[in-house]
Amino acid sequence: MSKSEIPGKVVAICGGVGGAKLAPGLYRVLAPEQLTVVVNTGDDFEHLGLHVSPDIDTVVYTLADLADRERGWGRANETWAFMAALKALGGEDWFNLGDADLAMHVQRTLRLKAGETLTTITSDLARRLGIAAEILPMSDERVRTFVETDEGVLGFQRYFVGRRCEPRVERIRFDGAETARPGPRVLAALADPGVRAVVICPSNPFLSVDPILAVPGMRAAIRSTSAPVVAVTPIIGGQAVKGPTAKIMAELDVPVTALAVASHYDGLIDGFVLDDRDAADKAAFPVAADVVPTLMQSLADREALARSVLAFAGRLEPRT
C-alpha cells in the first residue's frame, strides 16, 4: 500500500511518548494533508514562568525528526547549560528543560500572553520545523490533569516526573475539562466528510487519552464521524511497553489486559488492534479485533503498524 493507495483523511488521537511512536508511522505512510493529530494538553503546566506542553512537543519533535529517541522526550543532541546554571543558583531542577527546548517554551509563552491561541501557535511552530501534517491541541482552554494518590493530590508532572510515578494512584481528575471546549479545528477535522479513519494511538488510556475525551463535545464529535474509530493497544502480554499504564491500571483495579483497554473505550470504538502475543483473546473482544505485531522498535515497525491499522479501518463498515 503506497501513499497514493490510502484514501481519505485520518485523525489520530494522541498523547505523548506512546502516541508519538505511531504518529510518525502514520505521517510517513500518508500524504501530509491527510493527517491530523489531536494531542492531549492535560499534561501542560506552568514552570519557571513558561507554558510547557510536553505531549505537543513530543509529537512535534518526533514528526520533525528532532526527538531524542533514547529518552523518548525532548530534543536530540540537547545541551543542559541552563539547567546547570539554574541549579547552581538554587532554582528548581526537578523538571529538565534543555537549552534548545527552551526556545519552544519561550515562544509559546510569549505568544499566548500576546493573545494567540494554543492552536495557532502549535500549527505555526510545527510548520516552522518542517511538519506538513496538522497538529492540534485538544482545546485552547486550560485543562490540567491531577493525580490523587496515597501521598495526596499531585499535578501530573509532579507525579510523573517529580515522583517518577511512585505514589499509588487512587483517582485521576481533569480540572477545567468540564468548562473547556474542543478546539474548533479539531471539530472541523472530525466533521470533515473526507475522514476515513479515526485512530486512538497506543497512549496511556487514563492519563493521555481520557483528558481529551473529558472535554465536553469531544466524544460526541468522534462518535458522529462516519469513519470507523480504531484503538491500538498500549498493553502487550499484560505489560505496558513503556510508562506507568500497567501500574495505574492495577492500582485502579482494572485488569492489565488489552481487553480491558477496549472495554474502557466502550461505545466509542468500532475496532481494536491487539498484539499477536494476545491473539488468544481475540474472540472475547466486544468490537472487531485485528491481530498484528504492535511493538514498535524501529521506524519500519511504526510504518508497518500504521499500514496495518489503516488497512483494518478500511475493512470496517462506515458508520451510519
**Which of 70, 34, 26 has its CA nearest to residue 195?**
34
* pLDDT, average across residues 39-46: 97
Residue 1 has pLDDT above 80, yes or no: no
* pLDDT, average across residues 256-279: 96
pLDDT per position as a tens digit, 273-295:
999 999 999 999 999 999 999 99
β-pair type (152-155, 144-149)? antiparallel
Of the listed ranges 1-5, 64-68, 88-92, 294-298, the one predicted with least confidence: 1-5
How far separated are the first and last CA of the chain, in Å rounded? Answer: 27
Query: How high is the pLDDT of residue 4?
Result: 39
Q: Are 56 and 224 in contact (CB under 8 A)?
A: no
pLDDT band at 247 (very low <50, low <70, confident <90, very high): very high
Q: Angle 243-245-249 (CA atoms, 0-180°, nearest 5)?
A: 155
pLDDT per position as a tens digit, 179-191:
999 999 999 999 9
In this structure, the number of other CB atoms found within 10 A of the CB of residue 235 comes to 25
DSSP bridge pairs for 177: none
Place of cell 487519552: 209
Query: How high is the pLDDT of residue 7?
Result: 76
Q: Are 309 and 296 in contact (CB under 8 A)?
A: no
In this structure, the number of other CB atoms found within 10 A of the CB of residue 89 comes to 8
Sheet holding 152-155, edge to edge: 152-155, 144-149, 169-175
Q: Are 66 and 131 in contact (CB under 8 A)?
A: no
**Which of 146, 147, 131, 121 has its CA nearest to residue 252?**
147
β-pair type (35-39, 9-14)? parallel
**Which of 38, 40, 34, 33 has its CA nearest to residue 16?**
40
pLDDT per position as a tens digit, 78-125:
999 999 999 999 999 999 999 999 999 999 999 999 999 999 999 999
* pLDDT, average across residues 23-51: 96
Query: How high is the pLDDT of residue 317?
Result: 84
User: Rounded to whole angstroms, how far apart are CA atoms 276 and 121?
Assistant: 40
